[in-house]
Structure formats: structure tokens, C-alpha cells
Chain A
Amino acid sequence: MLTRRIIVCLDVDAGRVVKGVQFTKLRDAGDPAELAAAHAAAGADEIVLLDITATHEKRATLLETVRRTARELMVPFTVGGGIRSVDDASAVFDAGADKVAVNSAALADPTLITQIAAKFGSQAAVVAIDARASADRSHYEVKKTGGRDATGRDAVAWAREAQEAGAGEFLVTSMDRDGTKDGFDMELTRAIAAVAHIPVIASGGAGAIEHFVEVFQPGGADAALAASIFHFGLIRMSDLKQHLQQNGVSVRWPC
């Protein structure tokens, strides 16, 4: 049976893993290559590395960090942040990524998704959607450039469009929940999952083991992503996976 994935995210700034609360207030969490290897050994199903300041500072993705992190990693590895062209994506693949996550640049030009999918396959084209509930909570608005700027786009409408353009997976981050440990945004996850015929990765807000049970069962996520709870040892991967298994969620365990 296809299992639900637990993905560990490395938010990287200047070659170090950092973690913020609602996308800001960064604190150091360690070396990306070392953390990735440790999480994979502990049972993480996948590693995502996001260069969180790349778009903002117009920097190229940290290829050297990607290369170093990919070297010893024998589980799927996704890289995002600052990917603005097929050439940017190619460089990241050459450095050892299996998938790229695109965000701001895809919003500006959705054909970027199509181009990446045509060259590397849809399975390699992850579309990251950072969303925040609208003031009246009637819908979710898409943000870009690391959550800094409004786009005026509705998250569900954008998901439909990105899927048509050739996206292979969605990485849906709730900016309201990011770093809060209050649990995943179930409404956001469900809203995207309802229109998605590709896998949905839920992100933002994981703080307890129960949050993962929720996001998989009523939430409908195919995978759940978290960062700080794993980096700072708040949840052990073995405890999480055993709990999920006991609660009827199939996971890769033992692995």
C-alpha cells in the first residue's frame, strides 16, 4: 500500500539551517548536510531544502549546499528557493536534487512549470504554494517572495492552474500556522486536496504527533512536512511513525 510520507524540511539561509516563526525571527538549527543525513537515518521519507532568502536577495540557490547535502542522501531530495528558470532548475538537478520546488517565478510565469515538467518530468516539478486566510476567512490568498508579497490570487484557483501547467506535487504551506506548533491548517489542506489529482504535501504548524494523524485522515494530505519539531527533537521520527501506524495511517515503518 502506498504510505503517507513524513518529510523533513531544511530552511536554509547562507548555508545554515534556520527556522522562523511565521516566516521570520530566524534561529540557527545546524548544518544542512549533517541534518539531512541524520533525519534520513532516523526514518524521514524525504528531505526538502528551501533556500529561504534566495528570491528575496536575488541570489542563486546555494548549489554547493545542495551538492554537499545530496552527496550522502539515499532518499528523495527536493530543492526550492530562487528557481526562476529552466537553467536554474537544471543546475539544481545537476547538483543532486531529484525535484525542484517553484513558487514566485511560477506565479509570474506558469509556463515555467510546463518547461520544467517537459524537460525533467512532472514528478520533478513541485509547486510550492504559500497561503494565508483572507481577512474575512472566506478564502486563502497566495503570497510570494518568501511570503512577503501579496499576489491577489486565490490558492485553490492557483492550484488548479498549476496542475494544468504540469505540476507533479503541491507543497502547501499555511503562513498562518508556520512555526506556531498549533497544528496544520486543515481547511487549507482539504481545500487544495479537493481539487488536486496530484499529491499534496501539507506544511506549517506541526507541533505534536496528533497533528499528523489529523492532517492525513480528515485532512487528506498525501505527505506532511515539518522542520523545527524534528531539528530540535520535539518529536522523534520513530514515535511519530509508530503512532501513525497504530492509528491506521500506513507509513514506511520500520524502514
Chain B
Amino acid sequence: MIAIVDYRAGNLTSVKKALDRVGAESFVTSDPRAIATAEKIVLPGVGHFAATEVLATSGMSGAIAEAIGRDVPFLGICVGMQWLFETSEEAPATRGLGLFPGQCGHFPLAVKSPHVGWNDLTRERPSLLLAGVPQNSFVYFTHTYRAPVGPGSVAQCEYGGTFSAAVERGRVFGVQFHPEKSGEIGLTILRNFCELAC
């Protein structure tokens, strides 16, 4: 069973629905014990970086970090991906998990913000998560802050400069876009995650 982590920020319905669609069993939870025993973990995210504080205060981030340590597959979406980095300009006092280096920052003022719509992925290196996703595939983004390109990046996107669209390290994955809203390409990505051996 896949645990969809509920930290009271935004809408989990779409993620649940998309996992149902690819035939994966999942449940929504904010219980650290349920997270600790899940086969896989998805951390969705729509909302403010500061909302991830709840993860720390509730004990959920400890459960997630411990599961990641046991090589349990983890997928962070949008703010859920940003949380894998050290910090974000959106809430500088809030600590992320720090599995990827750097700080998430605001888009430059020269471009409209939020970055909303379908943009294309530039794939950079082989990726388990993006297997079968063609170069320059379109996926749906909606976000105001973005993660830097770094050693963990497996796909970049261009909007007011380049940023990390997908990161991967072992079995820890993050996507800035919304696979649950990205049509067939998004379903391919979710299917790749769901089919990873536990």
C-alpha cells in the first residue's frame, strides 16, 4: 500500500484518483505509524513551504526520513519535492529534509509568477521515474518557487532560467510538476513509481 501523506495543505483527491487509475492501492494518512509501515510514500504538495512544518511537529518527517533510510520508495510532488531540498525562500526558517543541496527560490520578476501551464522536460540522464517519457514531453506545472538544478536533477525545465523539474537519488524521487494532472505522460511516471519493487 502507498501512503499519501496528508499535511493539511491542499488537495489530495487528484493524487489518490491518479494512483487508482494506474491500479495502485493507496491510502491517505497523517499518522507517522502508518507512514512507517507503508510500502511506498507519496508526499503531494500544493500550498506554502511553511505548511511542511506540520511534518516535523507531527512526527511524520521522522517517519519519512526513517523509511527513506530503509530504501522505501518516496515521491515528492511540487512542494513535496521542494521539501527534499534544504530550504526555500518562501519560508526561510522552515527546514526541508536536505537530501538534495540548495535552496528553492522565487522566479525572477521578469516572468509572470506563478509559472502555470504545460512546459516541456529536458531529460538529462537516465531515470527510473522517467522511464518511457520522451525528451521534451509536456507536463503541467503550477508553482511560484523552484528548485535549483543540481547533481540530483534528472530533468530540467526552462522558465525565467532553468530549474529542476525532476530529481532522483536512489529510490527518492521528486517532481516539480503535477503528474496527476499531466495526462498520459503523468500516468506513465506514476506507473513507473508504483511498479518499483518494494
Given the known interface contacts A76-B140, A121-B48, A123-B46, the answer about A2 and B115 at a Cβ–Cβ threshold of 8 Å is yes
CB contacts (< 8 Å) of A188 on chain B: these are none
From 1 to 57 in chain B, residues with beta carbon under 8 angstroms from any chain A beta carbon are: 9-11, 13-14, 17-18, 21, 46-48
CB contacts (< 8 Å) of B9 on chain A: these are 121
B192 is an interface residue with CB less than 8 A from chain A: no
A93 vs B10: C-alpha distance in the bound complex, in angstroms? 9
Closest to A96 in B: B13
A163 to chain B, nearest CB (A): 11
A1, B183: Cβ atoms closer than 8 Å: no
A204 is an interface residue with CB less than 8 A from chain B: no
B183, A255: Cβ atoms closer than 8 Å: yes
What size tier do the contact residues of chain A reach? 20 to 34
Q: Mark B59-83, 1 if CB is under 8 A from A, else 0.
A: 0000000000000000000000000
A198, B112: Cβ atoms closer than 8 Å: yes
A98 is an interface residue with CB less than 8 A from chain B: yes
Q: Which residues of A contact B (CB under 8 A)?
A: 1-5, 40, 45, 70-71, 74-76, 93-98, 120-124, 168-169, 196-199, 222-223, 252, 255
Q: Which residues of B contact A (CB under 8 A)?
A: 9-11, 13-14, 17-18, 21, 46-48, 112-120, 138, 140, 142-144, 158-159, 178, 180-184, 186-187
A1, B114: Cβ atoms closer than 8 Å: no
A121, B117: Cβ atoms closer than 8 Å: no
CB contacts (< 8 Å) of B182 on chain A: these are 74-75
CB contacts (< 8 Å) of A93 on chain B: these are 11, 13
A4 vs B9: C-alpha distance in the bound complex, in angstroms? 28
A121 vs B9: C-alpha distance in the bound complex, in angstroms? 9
B138, A3: Cβ atoms closer than 8 Å: yes
A196, B18: Cβ atoms closer than 8 Å: no
Closest to A251 in B: B118
CB contacts (< 8 Å) of A2 on chain B: these are 115, 117-119, 159
CB contacts (< 8 Å) of A74 on chain B: these are 18, 21, 180-184, 186-187
Closest to B20 in A: A71
Closest to B181 in A: A76
CB contacts (< 8 Å) of B118 on chain A: these are 2-3, 5, 45, 252, 255
B183, A197: Cβ atoms closer than 8 Å: no
Given the known interface contacts A94-B13, A252-B118, the answer about A122 and B144 at a Cβ–Cβ threshold of 8 Å is yes
CB contacts (< 8 Å) of A45 on chain B: these are 117-118
B14, A96: Cβ atoms closer than 8 Å: yes
A128 vs B120: C-alpha distance in the bound complex, in angstroms? 28
Given the known interface contacts A75-B181, A98-B14, A252-B138, the answer about A121 and B187 at a Cβ–Cβ threshold of 8 Å is no
Closest to A250 in B: B120
A168, B13: Cβ atoms closer than 8 Å: no
27 contacts between A and B (CB under 8 A): A1-B120, A2-B115, A4-B117, A45-B117, A70-B14, A71-B17, A74-B18, A74-B21, A74-B180, A74-B182, A74-B187, A76-B140, A76-B142, A76-B181, A98-B11, A120-B10, A121-B47, A122-B144, A123-B46, A123-B144, A168-B142, A199-B112, A199-B114, A223-B117, A252-B118, A252-B138, A255-B183
